[in-house]
Amino acid sequence: MPLEVHIVTPEREVWAGEVQELIARGVDGEVGILAGHAPLLVQLAIGPLRLLTEGGETRAVVDGGFLHVSTHEGTTRADVLAAQAELADEIDLDAARRRLEAAEGRAEGDDDEVAKAEIAKANARIKLSATA
């Protein structure tokens, strides 16, 4: 039974295909999805996605969003819905570093949640790019 994955943003479908396993970071911790998984809805944290296939591994990063798992007629489907998502090989490392520097410059203590989120997004891209 296949596990079909679709990573989607409002602008585009970032990736689609069949995988052996999907590993995502939810707000309450990591979750692994295999074919035949029960229906599920997970709020995603800013962080990496790992798509394990027979041919290797594809990595992506999402800026939060949701993971929806459903089963229909023997096929398990996982939809990752995010405001922004990038595959590891699409990440512009220099732009991520500039984004981090700019966000750190805007941070005004512990109350600036927007700056904290921007820092987390930039750090996720830098970390993923370093492991790709």
What's the total number of domains in the chain? Answer: 2
Give the structural domain span for 7. 3-88
Same-domain check for residues 109 and 52: no
Same-domain check for residues 20 and 39: yes
Same-domain check for residues 30 and 77: yes
Q: What length is written for the chain?
A: 132
For 69-122, the pLDDT digits (tens) are 999 888 999 999 999 999 999 999 999 999 898 888 877 655 678 888 889 999
Say yes or no to pLDDT of 24 above 60.
yes
CB 21 within 8 A of CB 52: yes
0.75 cut: is pTM over it? yes
Residue 20 CA to residue 109 CA, distance in Å, equals 43
CATH code at position 31: 2.60.15.10
CB 84 within 8 A of CB 63: yes
- DSSP secondary structure letters along the chain: --EEEEEE-SS-EEEEEEESEEEEEETTEEEEEETTPPPEEEEEEEEEEEEEETTEEEEEEEEEEEEEEEEETTEEEEEEE-SSEEEGGG--HHHHHHHHHHHHHH--STT-HHHHHHHHHHHHHHHHHHH-
Same-domain check for residues 83 and 100: no
Same-domain check for residues 103 and 72: no
Same-domain check for residues 33 and 51: yes
How much is the average pLDDT of 35-60? 95
Same-domain check for residues 39 and 79: yes
